[in-house]
């Protein structure tokens, strides 16, 4: 069926004009953390929010109040999870993984690369993106919990290492 009348089209327009501003408002009051780089839980929330918005706009079986309640609940759950995450290391390790050391002092961590399904080419690409000309210029490359790579240049002064919480690194490694 190509066209079933204007009622459905008008309903979608009205729902979009109502749901979109409501979503923007809810995301705005929920804080920057809701829109930050994604870990696993953030991705799930993002997909769920998209699904609810699509259902509200396209399904004539869902009312706007039901859709906004669904959106509100997802944002409340996101807020609750991030609130717990900030206050409990145990909860954080349940929701997020640990950063993984992929390269340290020019040595690739072969087992970690295989476990995380990362190729050496990707590590070298991250090093280049970090502005370094050679692998040896990098003290370490870390796969962060959001899937990004961090490249740490060789340090030239004493201080607390940024590798402190990375699995596979210890102060004794130096």
pLDDT of 172 over the 50 cut: no
The confidence score (pLDDT) of residue 141 equals: 95
Instruction: Assign 3-state DSSP to the chain and report helix, strand, coil percentages, each to 5.
Output: 60, 10, 30
The confidence score (pLDDT) of residue 39 equals: 65
The confidence score (pLDDT) of residue 151 equals: 95
pLDDT category at 126 given cuts 50, 70, 90 is very high
Query: What are the pLDDT digits (tens) for 36-80?
Result: 556 667 778 888 888 998 998 888 888 888 988 998 898 888 888
Neighbours of 77 (CB within 10 A): 14
Of the chain, the percentage scoring pLDDT greater than 70 comes to 85
The confidence score (pLDDT) of residue 121 equals: 94
CB 98, CB 116: distance < 8 Å: no
pLDDT of 127 over the 90 cut: yes
DSSP state of 107: E
Overall pTM surpassing 0.75 (yes/no): no
Position with higher pLDDT, 92 vs 126: 126
């Amino acid at each position: 069926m190509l066209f079933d009348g204007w009622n459905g089209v008008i309903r979608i327009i009205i729902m979009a004009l109502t749901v979109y501003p409501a979503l923007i408002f809810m995301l705005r009051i929920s804080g920057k953390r809701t829109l930050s780089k994604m870990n696993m839980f953030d991705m799930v929330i993002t997909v769920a929010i998209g699904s609810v918005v699509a259902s509200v706009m396209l399904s004539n079986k869902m009312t706007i109040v039901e859709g906004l309640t669904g959106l509100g609940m997802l944002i409340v759950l996101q807020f609750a999870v991030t609130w717990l995450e900030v206050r409990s290391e145990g909860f954080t390790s349940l929701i997020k993984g640990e950063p993984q050391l992929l390269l340290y002092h020019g040595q690739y961590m072969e087992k970690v690369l295989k476990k995380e399904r990362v190729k050496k080419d990707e590590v070298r690409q991250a090093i280049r993106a970090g502005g370094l000309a050679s692998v040896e210029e990098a003290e370490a490359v870390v796969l962060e919990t959001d899937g990004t790579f961090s490249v740490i240049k060789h340090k030239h002064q004493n201080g607390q290492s940024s590798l402190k919480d990375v699995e596979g690194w210890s102060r004794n490694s130096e």
